[in-house]
Amino acid sequence: MTNCQCVVLNTTVSQLGRQENSLLTMVLERIKVDIMRVLPMQAFVAIQRIAARHANQVAITVREAGLTPAQYNVLCILRDAGPNGLGCNAVADLMITRDPDMTRLLDKLEARELVTRARSQTDRRVVTVRITAAGSAALEQLDEPIALTHEDQFHRLDEAGLRKLIELLEAIP
Whether the predicted pLDDT of 159 surpasses 70: yes
Q: Find out whether 87 and 110 touch, Cβ atoms under 8 Å.
A: no
CA 78, CA 129: separation in Å to the nearest integer? 8
CA 39, CA 82: separation in Å to the nearest integer? 42
- Angle (CA) 125-126-127 rounded to 5° is 120
Is pLDDT larger for residue 123 or for residue 37? 123
Report the Cα 36 to chain-centroid distance in Å. 24
Q: Find out whether 129 and 48 touch, Cβ atoms under 8 Å.
A: no
CB burial readout 50-84, b (16+ within 10 A) else e:
eeeeeeeebeebbeeeebebbbbbbbbbbeebeee
Q: What percent of the chain has pLDDT over 70?
A: 84
pTM score, whole prediction: 0.75
Length of the chain, in residues: 173
* pLDDT value, residue 3: 45
pLDDT digits (tens, 9 = 90+) for 9-63: 454 545 555 666 677 677 767 777 677 777 888 889 899 999 999 999 999 999 9
Outline where DSSP puts E strands in the chain. 86-87, 115-119, 127-131
Closest CA to 131 of 63, 93, 74, 88: 74
Mean pLDDT of the chain: 86
